[in-house]
Structure 1
Amino acid sequence: MLSPVAGSRLFIADAPETSPRGGAPSGLAWVEIGQAEAFGVLGGSYELQDTSYMGCNEMGYMAAKGPRRPTTMQIVMGLDMTDPGQLILARAYASQEAAYPFRLLFADGVNERRWMALVMRFEEVFDAANSVMRMQADLHPANAIIEGRTDA
């Protein structure tokens, strides 16, 4: 089944979450990050663990998957520092240690992804002279991404 991204909405919790599972704020409110234009990627990749060796009259090579590392998600939004979601995103960036819960609700209003992330980068993007100013943020997942449905 194809899922359109157009119309999807990105949310951040209004405070960091201390639950190790994350992604489901207890007593926290979800706040939409306004003017979202691009959501980047969400997933991960494995490090390669490889070994070369010499045996009796032969050379060998072995490869295996190593630790899995999450991919940093880059989001782009129109700059609006009066937007409550962007203000919380700026606060999350200023936080030295806290991971914040994030929620990506797809256009169907039912399917979603939830995760905790550290906001590693928060920058103004000026782009072309005839364009509007944008903000770009890098979200580094701090736990597993939870796939779910709002009706479950």
Structure 2
Amino acid sequence: MLVYPDGLSMAADEQRRFRLMYEAEPRESVDRVMAERGLKNPWPQMPFPDRILNCKDGVGLHYDRQQGVEMMMGFNDIANGFAKKGSNLSEAETEGIKEFVRSRSVSPAFVRRMVQEHGDASLRAAFLLRDRGGEYALEYLLRRYKGAAFRTVYPNMSLIQ
């Protein structure tokens, strides 16, 4: 997980990451793919929306093998809130943490990663669970707000006779 101060820093780092991935490949292979696809550069051109590039209040990036890359703007309040370990959270930090957990776009793995790095004290404080739930507070919140991620998904199947 990475936290960037703004969108431009995140975009520059992502472009660098893709460039380094392609530089690690054998030059012959890269040249062949570039010729086949008519590319000027071997790395992808990833235009980020202006609202991400102009974001000044932090961008959180989380990579999960199953979910891929998750990106959240306005991450400074969330990161600062978790860093306070549950004490003296501002209203913006409390609301940021609540929205982080409630958001359907944020995976349980992203929330777990924040708790792994900073502990669950701020999470419990934001949801007024300071001394309740013990070690189950995180699991309770994840299942309450992200329950779909825990349900068994069966493949679509049609029986045709």
Q: TM-score range by the shorter chain?
A: under 0.3
Which structure has more helix as a fraction of its residues? 2
TM-score by length of 2: 0.24
**Structure with max Cα Rg:** 2
TM-score by length of 1: 0.25
Which structure has more strand as a fraction of its residues? 1
The one of the two structures with greater contact order (alpha-carbon pairs below 8 A, sep at least 6) is 1
